Amino acid sequence: MQRKLYKVSVIGCGRWGTFIAKYLSDVGHAVTLYGRAGSSRTEELLSTRRNALMELPAGVALTTSLDDAVKADVLVVSIPSQGLRALLRALSEKPSLPKTLVLCMKGLEIGTGKRLSTVAREELGDRVKVAVWIGPGHVQAFCAGIPNCMVIDSDDEETKRALVDAFSSELIRFYYGQDLTGNEIGAAAKNVVGIAAGFLDGLGVPSLKGALMSRGTHEIARLIGAVGGNPNSAYGLCHLGDYEATLFSPYSHNRAFGEAFARGESFEGLAEGYYTVRALVDLADETGVDLPICRAVEAVLYRGESLSECIKQLFERSLKPEF
């Protein structure tokens, strides 16, 4: 079957946004990449059409105008999750928008605990169909030609299937998501488990990652069920299936952040789990779900509690029944 080709705009010219623009152009779509005027990343792309990881194909247009960016069939957003609502409010002022919004980002809104698709609906209403693009993979690996599997999910079945058919390739095989709530919660929460894995690396006890993975998945499955999703989603690509890329990879920002924190070193990259853990603890308080790993990470990062003591207490729980 011939692939349907779209006019796509990508908002966000960080490593993921730039890769998405390149990838979708390589697949055959007409792509425009938007970056903020004055941003160092935007200026680098405007002057060289490349960053440290890749070069943009000649067919990718670059713009610093949101008015230009919204002239598309599909709008893909890849920015830090806590900046999403402000972006959507700016988009809501545009007289017309693309029919489909794809959120290629993982997180929950601090202060509300809301999923990003919920934020999109609140700000844009029914003006667009909303989908999420989640799952394992690092730009460095994709740029080296190493394939992986990812997920596209949406409450709108037609939108989901159209995107999977249009975006799939030999490099990225997309699966049809079946649980938007569970997939968003699971994808956001895996970054928090990634920070915990980094803690273990920094403390010199990476052998404990096996217990972390087993208990982390079960912990998030309970939360997904409590907020109306399918608990089994935690065992899919949104969460457990993303552990290799998040808990072990040298490219994982969340793991690297946790390791640097444990060693008392600075970290300059974006670690979404740092923000997500606050939202997860709030959800735990609302639902009454026990989230010991998330609470331990939050206590260390935000309450100044001893990392070694929190890890000790966390894994002493193994004296209790496993689940």
CATH number at residue 170: 3.40.50.720
Does 172 lie in the same domain as 115?
yes
The answer to the question of residue 264 being in a domain is yes
Looking at 126, 152, 176, which one is the last position of a domain?
A: 176
Q: How far apart are CA 34 and CA 36, in angstroms?
A: 7
Contact 45, 56 (CB under 8 A): yes
- Which neighbouring-strand residues pair with 232? none
Q: How far apart are CA 286 and CA 272, in angstroms?
A: 22
CATH of the domain at 293: 1.10.1040.10
Tell me, what's the pLDDT at 269? 87
Does 70 lie in the same domain as 48?
yes
Cβ neighbours around 17 below 10 Å, total:
23
Question: Which DSSP symbol is given to 5?
Answer: P
Looking at 117, 145, 176, which one is the last position of a domain?
A: 176
pTM for this one? 0.95
The answer to the question of residue 292 being in a domain is yes
Q: How far apart are CA 208 and CA 150, in angstroms?
A: 27
The answer to the question of residue 313 being in a domain is yes
Does 158 lie in the same domain as 29?
yes
Question: Which DSSP symbol is given to 93?
Answer: T
pLDDT digits (tens, 9 = 90+) for 5-53: 999 999 999 999 999 999 999 999 999 999 999 999 999 999 999 999 9
Does 132 lie in the same domain as 219?
no
Does 196 lie in the same domain as 172?
no
Catalytic residue, candidates 106, 114, 160, 190: 190
Looking at 176, 196, 212, which one is the last position of a domain?
A: 176
What is the rounded (10 degree) CA torsion for 293, 323, 188, 311? 20
Residue with tokens 């002057």: 47
The answer to the question of residue 181 being in a domain is no
pLDDT digits (tens, 9 = 90+) for 133-161: 999 999 999 999 999 999 999 999 999 99
190 is catalytic: yes
Range of the domain at 22: 7-176
The answer to the question of residue 322 being in a domain is no
Does 253 lie in the same domain as 131?
no
Domains in the chain, number:
2
Q: What is the mean pLDDT of the chain?
A: 95
